[in-house]
A = this chain, B = another copy of it.
Amino acid sequence: MQKPSIPKGTRDFSPEEMAKRNYIFNTISEVFRLYGFQQIETPAMENLSTLMGKYGEEGDKLLFKILNSGDCLSGITDEELIARNPVRFAAKACEKGLRYDLTVPFARYVVQHRNEISFPFKRYQIQPVWRADRPQKGRYREFYQCDGDVVGSDSLMNEVELIQIMDEVFHRFGIRVCIKMNNRKILTGIAEVIGAADKIVDITVAIDKLDKIGLENVNEELRSKGLSEEAIERLRPIILLQGSNQEKLVTLKKVLADSEVGLKGVSELEFILERISHTPIRAELEVDLTLARGLNYYTGAIFEVKALDVQIGSITGGGRYDNLTGVFGMEGVSGVGFSFGADRIFDVLNQLNLYPEDSLKTTQLLFVNFGQREETYLLPLLAQVRKAGIRTELYPEPAKMKKQMGYADAKRIPFVAIVGENEIAAGKINLKNMLTGEQTLLSLEELIERFA
């Protein structure tokens, strides 16, 4: 018989991995709740009519589709079958698909439950998503997303709050980060003033290369993308943009003096930086014009978080959007949101070994099982130890001492309690520290005290 396996790109999570993941998700949840965010969950399966067309043509191909139950082939003609068009076939044989992200289901949720929701709606959601991507290192076909959004409010105070949340989360993790900020309106303004509205992406890509290839080569690249000499000249102060956030904003205001939308973007950034200066922020904050994520989607602020001590892509990102739910017929729902990259945070915490010891501890105390008489003696005692909140096991059978100790070792249980004939006679518990080997004779009260 073949050893069973799981589909490629999916994972089992072992007890240790689960402890780590629970630590991550619990920390994020706690901070979200501290700021008044509420959790929702949506079903794994959505109607394909909800999902299709929302992620581009490529995205449609990456949706996992669920075969209709019952007679999946009814309603398909022989001709259609033999035509062997997989896309058209799936459209007839599948009504449902697995969610691809948490944004579209959230938009669907907002529209469907609009009458129950009190806006501004601050929601967070931590659930797996599925993508039929080619699996590769660090890319999975099932992975968790961890999204927070505020919808139904245009106030930039929401952006301020999201920055506070990112800062607090990474502070709690002990990960030093830089929160990079940009604004879609600034990018639009730049394109406007150089007369190349369609070149935003080329420009940000070029700016990003300055450190590596130098100004001359950047300009060469821009030329090759069709930018005029005049445009390249105007771009120069933006490509060479340096200094503090304040200095950058001053330069930008000069360059964007003729662009209303550009100046709007600068003033939004200014507002956010001013407000955030009134609260204790541990992260670095950096205005970074190369941030161009979600360009087709974001309309205002754009965020990205980079870990300072680990070479890894962005570990969190987000931004403001104008129209979350228009595609479902509900106009005017703007919002701002972001997504923690759970898998990458997991990797960073692993690399820097930042998990608090306590978050990985499972059982704190194992009672050795010496046999029938001791079992009976220990049961009421165990009840008291557990009542004190101490995570405790009694080995389920009187196996050899070596086996029981091996179990404690494998499970990294830090203390073992030995209660044999002598200890019963003395009314004591022999507590062994598995790390030091030290043994101490304690009363039940003293034992509980030890773990308090």
Contact = CB atoms under 8 A, between A and B. Distances in A.
A40 B64 contact: no
A38 interface: yes
B406 A113 contact: no
Given A328-B1, A392-B36, A396-B153, A12 B113 contact: yes
Contact of A407 (B89, B118, B150, B396): B118
A39 to B, nearest CB: 4
A383 interface: yes
A7 B72 contact: no
Contacts of A36: 362-363, 366, 391-393, 411
A217 interface: no
A14 interface: yes
A296 interface: no
A7 B43 contact: yes
How many copies altogether? 2
Given A36-B392, A380-B279, A396-B158, A50 B4 contact: yes
A34 to B, nearest CB: 5
Contacts of A33: 362, 391
Contacts of A78: 81-82
A375 B142 contact: no
Given A15-B40, A47-B7, A96-B7, A278 B393 contact: no
A437 interface: no
B12 A118 contact: no
Nearest to A156: B396
A14 B383 contact: no
Contact of A64 (B1, B34, B66, B383): B66
A18 B38 contact: yes
A46 B7 contact: yes
Contact of A34 (B132, B161, B391): B391
Query: Which are the 7 A-B pairs with shortest beta-carbon distances?
Result: A15-B38, A118-B410, A10-B43, A1-B329, A36-B393, A69-B132, A155-B397
27 contacts: A2-B329, A4-B47, A4-B111, A5-B47, A7-B47, A7-B96, A10-B45, A11-B43, A12-B41, A14-B113, A18-B38, A18-B39, A18-B41, A36-B363, A36-B366, A36-B411, A66-B66, A70-B86, A71-B86, A72-B89, A73-B89, A78-B81, A153-B396, A154-B397, A168-B386, A275-B379, A279-B379
Given A12-B113, A70-B86, 12 more contacts: A1-B328, A3-B328, A7-B95, A7-B96, A10-B45, A13-B41, A18-B38, A19-B38, A35-B391, A36-B362, A72-B90, A120-B396
